Every structure is written in C-alpha cells, then in structure tokens.
Amino acid sequence: MRTRKYRNRLSLAMMMTDLTLASWETITRRTLLMMQNDCSPAEYQRMVNEKAEAAARSASRLVASGGRVSLAALLAPWHTRAMANAKRLRKK
C-alpha cells in the first residue's frame, strides 16, 4: 500500500512539472507570436476555449465522483491541453 501512495504522489509531481514547463513554453511562444503580429484569430480563440473546456472537464470529474476524485484526475485535462499546445506551437 505504501508503494502505491508513493507512485501516485510521484505521478502527481511529474504531472505538475510537465504542466508547469509546458505552460511556460506555451505562454512564451504565444507571446512571441503576438509581439511579431503573427498570432491568428484562431489562436486567440483557442486560448479562451481550451481553458473553458479544461475547467468543464475537471468540474465534471469532480461532480461525477461526488468529490472523491484525485488531484491528478482533476489536473489531467489541463495537463493534456498544455502538452498539446506546447507541441503544436513548436512547429510554428
């Protein structure tokens, strides 16, 4: 049982690390796009929509579990979007 708790904590720590680094990269790349006047209207719309979608998914998991969901499960939608954005923006 002790090993399992440690693994979950480590998983959450890695998720938080990934989320932090991917968010910084995404913010930096989007800021550069804005400074160069290359940020498309679609990218601006993505910034709003992705946050609303991640918040809705986290809230849905929280409600569906009756408040017994793990922090990692609540962060998963944010993590997924941040990683995808960083990867997509690297190509631009």
Q: Which pLDDT does position 39 carry in this prediction?
A: 95
To the nearest whole number, what is the mean pLDDT of the chain? 90
Residues of the chain with pLDDT under 70: 1-10
Q: Which pLDDT does position 90 carry in this prediction?
A: 95
70: left (phi over 0), alpha (psi -120 to 50) or beta: beta
Tell me the per-residue pLDDT of 36-51, one tens digit each, with 9 for 90 and over. Answer: 999 999 999 999 999 9
Q: Are the C-beta atoms of 70 and 8 separated by less than 8 Å? A: yes
Q: What is the pTM of this model?
A: 0.81
